[in-house]
Structure 1
Amino acid sequence: MTQQRSPTRYPTGGDYVDALQAPGLAFTDPQLRAGTVKTDALGMPEPVSGNFASVFHVYGTTGEQWAIKCFVRPDADRHHRYDAIATALQALHHPALVDFDYQADGIMVAGVRYPLLKMRWVQAQGLMPWLETHISHPERLLTVAEQFADVVATLEKAGIAHGDLQHGNLLITDQDELKLIDYDGMYVPEIAELPPNEKGLVNYQHPRRGDSDYGPGLDRFSAWVIYTSLVALAARPDLWRRLRATDDDTKLLFASDDYLDPAASGAFQTLRSAGPPHLAALADQLATFTRLTPSQIPALETMPAGTVSMPAPRAASATETPDWLADHLPKTPPVSPAAPAETPASASVHSFVGRHLAVARLAAAGLLLGVAGGIAAGVGVAALAAMPVFAWILTALTAMVAIAGSYLTHPLVAARRKARDAYIAAQQELAAAKAQAQAVRGTRAQLESATTAQQQALRGQRDAAIRQRDTAIAHAQQVLQQSLHSIAQRRSDWSNTPQAREQKRLAEIAAEYVQRALSNAVIAKNPPRGIEAKIAGALADQGFRTAADFVDYRTVSGHGRYDKTFIKRSRTDYGTYVENVGEKRAKALLQWRQNIISRAESQAPKTLTPQQRHEVTVQVQQIQAALNAEENAAKQQARTAVEQARAAEGAAQVAMDAQEKQLEAEAQDKRANLDRRIVGADAAVTAARRNAGDMSDALAPLTRVSAGTYLLAIVGVTSP
């Protein structure tokens, strides 16, 4: 019979590990009872533990596999919640949904039944690693996006919301089939009265999501975020690197900060300028949703056919940067401006030729004329006084504007401006490349520091395992010594001379003889003096029939009235009051009892019979044999404890050997990756430095292009 589970205490992950060593006894489900639980290197059931549950991988006998979630915390609403979710999902039969079975008494731990979740194990990749591998296959991304939109629409049509749509709950099979998992936070109509038990991953949730939004439209914002990201990546795979930090596993393209201020968000700005019009439309739409309340957001709608574009194929270039290096190059494309068409690279910086210089010279003539005319008009020269002064000034100003315009639009000036911009961009690119190289080296140093810390922690665990072994051995030896000391004392007690053993046995026989005499002395048949039949009857009514039924009496003063006498069954007994038995009769009873004892002691045997002596010898032998057996058992128990302590320490060392090996292997992989990244970052720095040098060389001949040299060119003079 199983016990009633505690309302407050649930098993720990370790308790479930112990129970699942015998799945045939632990599980209620016939498929699980016949299954095999995945084990670790020590042969123990291997859990994946979280804050609320431990998950185990169970293999069925006919190829099925299940994920079994065992809860480590109580929840008063759990049965109602999961039963409603399971019923709702079973009615949908959607290919993206996995089997979900809540069993209220699914597993027994220490004789008590607890609930579990049985889910079909999905052989698939998480969306994030799948995208890492398939980012260059836009048609496959769009297939996944369509499947995602379909399952979201199916859920909403049924009045259901997942509650935590994010990349970690989306799996992709080898056939590019989408699977939606983790239904713990689902909303279904049957549990509308319950509070939500999930908040969802923040990078996928509306910034204003609250508990009151727990309803069928709960997934809408998350669905738009995921769909927009997948469509954008299909059109522009480079966004995968541009909008995500290295090893960022918390988002696809958008983070929670992007939703707070879409106008200042780099992610939204990048999508708007990415090229395809449908990306800008999706970005604008998602930005609009951030300003609405969650309940105002419309259901997800897929882009119309023909509006979703994919990147056009291109031929590979012989100088194309490798993928592993491109990930770590600056995101700003290099600027390589060409010289203006009307200014050949070999031209002198002072060759201000062409229509611009002609216009400037005409304007200069007009300027001189305007100045001269203004001065003449001002001093009253009759020939020039026909035009007022302000007209001559206006003429001069117009000429100045024409000269400035011809200068600013001159090809050499434009070339200098472009060269300067290119040089600044190249310097920024170089600074970014240096920062990236420094960051990668910093990551490499952090790896070594973290690896050293983990190795030190493992050494600490090894030392702790040895100390635990030594403590257990010392405790076992201490217990053994205490047991041996106790056994030695008892053996000494039974190792006295045979005469002493016989005297002790003779004393026991005499005591038994006296006790029989007391039991045979019936008060009513041989009453003491002063004990009439009526008094004997009253004593018998209280259980005092023979001399063996009492040992003493006591008298309690009545404080002026009369004394009461109590007959005591033992030395520590309070006593029993018997009517009309006063102190005098009690003394008579006690004297009568003492006479019986004296007579019995004088009549008791004074020597042992041969048979009794033999019995004493056999008893001593039996006691000695029992003590020997107890000593052997204590020694065996100590040996077992020592062996177990050493075995536990050995198993711990083996496990830590495996951890250390895995740690070193992972560190080696990371070192190799970081070393490649360092090489790539250094190559990027070299390339950026070369580009900056080229831009500097391109700018150098143009540095003397200025307004002064232009004015000199206007008047036909060149500086050396």
Structure 2
Amino acid sequence: MNMGPATGSQRRFPSGAEYAEALQHTQLCFHHPELKGARPELTGLGLPRPISGAFASVFSLTSPTSGRRYAVKCFTRHVPDQERRYEAISSRLALLDPAELSQPWNLGFEYLPDAISVGRERYPILKMEWAEAVTLSSWLDDNHTDRTAVDRLADRFEELTRDLASHQIAHGDLQHGNLLVASDDTLRLVDYDGMYVPALAGLGGTERGHRNYQSPLRGNDDFGVDLDRFSAWVIFLSLKAIASEPALWSRLHEPSGEFLLLTEDDFTSPAGSARLQTLLTHPDRMVSGLADQVRTLACQPLDMLPPLTLAVPRQHAAATVITDTSAQSGAAAPSTGGLPGWMAGHVTSMASSPQPAPSVAPPDRFQVRTPLDVAAAVLWPLMLAVTALALFVGLSTAPFGPAVPVLAAATFSVFARARRTEWAQTRAVLSRLTAELDQLDDPVKAEAKLRKEREKFEVAETKRTADHPRAQSKLTTSHQVELQQIEKRRIRKRHELDRKIAGLSAEREKASRRALAARQSAYIQDRLGRQLIARNPPYGIGPKLAARLAAVGVRTAADFTGYRTVHNGRYNSVGVQLVLSNGRGIDVQGIGETKAVALAAWRRERVAAAQAGQPTALTAQERQPIDQGVEVQRARLATELHSVDAAAEASRTKAKQELEDGRARLTRENALAGERARRQRQEFSRRAVTLQQDSARHAALSSAAEAAEAHRRRLSLASYLKFLYTGR
């Protein structure tokens, strides 16, 4: 999708006013054939009328080709994965069979990338069918006194939520402005920006919904099929309450208020909410029960909330009829498993737990004597008589002693008591309760463990959330340092090249001087090479000396440069040597200091004569290779200068890409960590609920076990012996 240039990490979108200005010329701003030249709905000032939202403005336009009316949504801020989300939502809604829906709430829409031009940029729009309907709050303004119509609308709203749940769809922002009521009193659902469909699983939400309809525990990371559950309960409660008592609309609703009957403050602080207290104490048992449910759900995680469809069965009449007995009770019955008492009998409790205590208490006394009991009763007097006789006749020293008959009677009595049904029942109940208790963890230890795990998790999560912006800041700082280094290298290289380019003129002059000096030197050498010593000898140099000079290679003024004196230590004398053009000194017989001076003077005269006629400037042809060389060097330096800027730009682009990749990586890691944290918090919430249930179960089992133990103690051996002879 061509989204045009971005500013920073997010693209800037036009404001609603800028869109309105562009829509004055729909022939020019639109590129879609059905919208090109469309007629917008205008305000009294003749300007396109916007309906502004959180991050978009909606305009009503009538197509000149089809004559159909559309709602065109123009986005005023960036939405992550915008096109992907709308494509997934559009594809999912397109699969819905209208015949399977409770009402035609689904409005067709089309996401059009680059469909509208504002200034020099093109932006996406959302083209949706126009619904001839009014918002829910406007409908209630006009119809709240019609109890039957409001109650019917409440049922249709529940059917709408049932449609969404059955197709694994969540709207994400159920509220009065997104629920429209058509002329046939059926509902239309608009604004699909935050909608969840299965194809978007794993992505985060783009909004948190209207604050007066959302759970206080809904966070930025919540995005799934359970998004609508709390707001569904809130809306359903409001509609059922108004259907029961129309005056509640005037009492609890404010004119043009952004809510129905309850606001965000009523959910976050239910104890101090006058509105919620009004509904909690309402004489209609359904209204008070629903209000109690909303109060309970406001402090539970979203994934723990029951869907509205569980509380409202298909047979609506069964759920709404109040019997004479229940009407007399006035207040709602105690909640069972998290659902209000008025729902009892209609839906199975979500959190119901098996009763730990036995349904029938074990007996705490013996009932009817059995033949075995009679035998035990007869045995005791007999064994006592035997013991007395043994003592009387002096058998106390017998191997088994006189106590044997008594021990036998006691053992038989213990056996007879163990065969009693009362004893067996009590032991069985106590054994079962003890076994169940052994299966449960100690609630105190389990709670302490959960608390420590949660505290440790929150410390780690606090550190992680604090580390994320620090990591982003570190990444940005590193990027800025890299940009500074790139700019320093660019400036240093440019300065170096600029200095070389600026020095090309001096190089030209220097090269010209070198070339002219070489030309003059060559000219002088040429002239000196034509001055033969033999033809025009200096004073004192005869033919013989000239021949000797020629023999050693000195024929012209160009063959030597002068002379130097040489000290001869052997003879303690001073001689001279002629200095050749290559710098080597030679001795020439007959050339002493006088003649050497004459030769040097002769040569100086010839040099002066040559210098007088030497060239003083280069010809154009001689300057041409110098100029060409300088221009070649200038072009090379200019290329290097351009490459310096190009290399710096490439380095900046690379650094920017590394920054974006780093940010994207951090964002992905943070999103994954946030999702893990969200799941962990949900797991903590589930464990807390389970622990609460287990704690209650543990307490109930402990109490039942103590009661069973008390029953068992009342069935002691002494009680049994008393029962044998008294029957009680």
Q: TM-score, normalised by structure 2?
A: 0.42
TM (norm. structure 1) is 0.42
